Structure 1
Amino acid sequence: MKKLRDYEIGIAKLANKKHSYEFEMDDSFFSLFEQEIILGGKLLAKVELDKTESLLTLHFDIKGTVRLTCDRSLEEFDQPVDIEETLLIKFGEENAELDDDLWQITPETQTLNVAQHLYDYIGLSLPMKKLHPRFVEELDEDDERDILIYSSRKAGDGEGDENDDDDDDVDPRWDALKNLN
């Protein structure tokens, strides 16, 4: 069984250059987090860490599939995942999240655990509505029909009709106002 320690990068003794890491994520990875959205999966994360004196730049490339439950049929299905993200970590006086993709750590920090970042990137890449692929195909077919359900325009009104000189539909009170100058 994997542990969170399997996703740590020792940054204290790294030289100022690029370093590459690979992390495999499977069902045991997702069991480390208290959640019910992702049932499992098989993914490979390639992390490239570029260390300088004042900044760590982490490039995440995550590919694979996660197992989800369909919102419509409650069937399990595999959702493909292909993610590329960048995280900047600068050195400062305290540990803090400054922005979504900018963190601050103290210079004394020995290791950096990327498990939570990996999980968050995977979770954020999932669609809001989790549909089995056969239902997604049905939605695509519905989009092709382009059925108009409601329109606030009158029949015959169109965007190009604004400059037409059809005075039949104009209220006579507006005609009187047109003559005011």
Structure 2
Amino acid sequence: MLQVRIAPLPDGLHQESLEPTADDFGLDPETFSDITVDLNLDVGVDRVLAAYTVRSTARLECDRTLDLYDQEIEGSHAVLFSATAEEADDDVRPLPQDATHIDVADSVRDTLLLAVPLRKVSPAARAAEIPTEFGASSEDGIADDRWEALRALRGDDTD
């Protein structure tokens, strides 16, 4: 849970910086560390707009080398808590009239998970050259002598 107290806040803009742990979101603390949430609250009558930016250091496994590396990730999102909302969805949540707190944990967790890159390539692997030719080259241009057996079946000794 990542609850933010809204009861004492007057109407207007408010800023908070939070430092939750990975456990607050049900995430692996070995994967996500140094989490910070910069939260901007726009409080009005019967509504609270919570816009935030979440940053973290993520321990990722490189797709090329399978080595573990750390990468800074960041994501932003906004959620409206409204007294007129009847059902919750991704961007609008109900706000009871007597609410003293809002819980932004689910939204922040989802934003953090979406900030993890799909293609994870470590800085060391980005600098490494990727081989594009395999096998030994031959005089007739065939780099792989396994093709010779197929050529013999065709009865084609020359190109």
TM-score (norm 2): 0.66
Shift of 1:72: 4.2
Alignment of 1:74-85 (within 5 A): 74-85=66-77
Alignment of 1:35-74 (within 5 A): 35=27, 39-74=31-66
Conserved 8 A contact 1:37-1:68: no
Shift of 1:48: 0.8
* Alpha-carbon distance between aligned partners in 1 of 2:3 and 2:25, rounded to the nearest angstrom: 16
Give the corresponding residue for 2:116: 126
More helix by share: 1
Give the corresponding residue for 1:30: 22
Does 1:14 pair with 2:6?
Answer: no
Please identify runs of 4+ aligned residues in structure 1 that moved more than 6 A: none
% identity of equivalent residues: 22
Out of 85, 97, 100, the residue aligned to residue 107 of structure 1 is 97
How many residues are treated as equivalent by the alignment?
A: 131
1:22–1:107 CA distance, 2 compared to 1 (3 A): same
1:38–1:87 CA distance, 2 compared to 1 (3 A): farther
Unaligned runs of 5+ in 2: 133-159
* Alpha-carbon distance between aligned partners in 1 of 2:117 and 2:29, rounded to the nearest angstrom: 11
Cα RMSD (Å)? 2.8
* Alpha-carbon distance between aligned partners in 2 of 1:54 and 1:39, rounded to the nearest angstrom: 38
* Alpha-carbon distance between aligned partners in 1 of 2:65 and 2:28, rounded to the nearest angstrom: 17
The one-letter code matched in structure 2 to 1:118 is V
* Alpha-carbon distance between aligned partners in 2 of 1:63 and 1:42, rounded to the nearest angstrom: 8
Shift of 1:47: 0.2
* Alpha-carbon distance between aligned partners in 1 of 2:117 and 2:6, rounded to the nearest angstrom: 34
